[in-house]
Structures are given as C-alpha cells and as structure tokens.
Amino acid sequence: MPMTILIVDDDKNFIETLEDGLKLKNVEAVVKVAKSAREALDQLAAVLPSVIILDIQLPDMHGVEFLRLIRESARLKKVPVVFISAKYTEPADRSEAMLAGAGAFFSKPIDIDELWKELSYLLGRSGGAGLDNKK
C-alpha cells in the first residue's frame, strides 16, 4: 500500500516541483494537497497521512500554530511533519518549529534528495509504510 503525503502549501509552483521530484525518485505515494490550514484540517478529517509537508506561512494560519493544533489530536499526534519555508529560515524559526513537534525543517528551495532521505528516516521511525522507491 503506498504512503500518503499531505502537502500543505499555497505555492502552486512549489507543489508542482515537489510532486515532479517525488515522481522522478519513483516514490510510490498518494499525494494530497491543501492550500490552507482549513483545507488541510478538512482533509485530515478524512485521511490519515503517512507524513505532512507543511509550509510555515499559510494564508489563514501560521504553520507552527497549525502543527500545535494537530498535535492535540490523538489520531494525528504521531504523524511526522516536515516544515518547509522560504521566509522563516532563522535559527529561532527552526527552533520554534522543532519544539512544536516538527520532525525536520527545510528552507526553500529544497533538495529533493535530502528531503527524501529525511522523509524516509521519519517514516521509518514512525513505522510508516511505503518507504522504498524503485530507483
């Protein structure tokens, strides 16, 4: 069964680039996209993702606030979350994200190989399925 990746980001170009990068890595995954925290919460009500890739700067909520909100849910608290940000890249931003429960933090633009290594590590730690890519 393929893993499910929820990308929460309002940057269409980033989403397309990330999806293309995962395809090039031959990652078997169902990719869901939410362009706001509200859309993500709606999707999370129906789907339990293997991992969440989360932008810090969302149009309707700060990403760290969103992470704290989902960490309150017994169902979602163990889902690995990887932060991605173009704007919030200072050490204090990274610390705040990690203290809120993020598994990793990447600055845009990201290196898809490094992201995949981190996703594989986090999914392995959480007992996630679908780690093997065909490449």
Kind of pairing, strands 81-85 and 3-8? unpaired
Band of pLDDT at residue 87, cut at 50, 70 and 90? confident
As beta bridge partners, residue 53 has 7, 82
Write out the H or E segment, with its range, that includes residue 9. none
Which class is domain 3-125?
Answer: alpha beta
C-alpha closest to that of 5 among 31, 26, 43, 25:
31
pTM of this prediction?
0.89
Q: Is 3 helix (H, G, I), strand (E, B) or coil?
A: strand
Distance CA 62, CA 117 (A): 26
pLDDT in tens, 13-35: 999 999 999 888 888 889 999 99
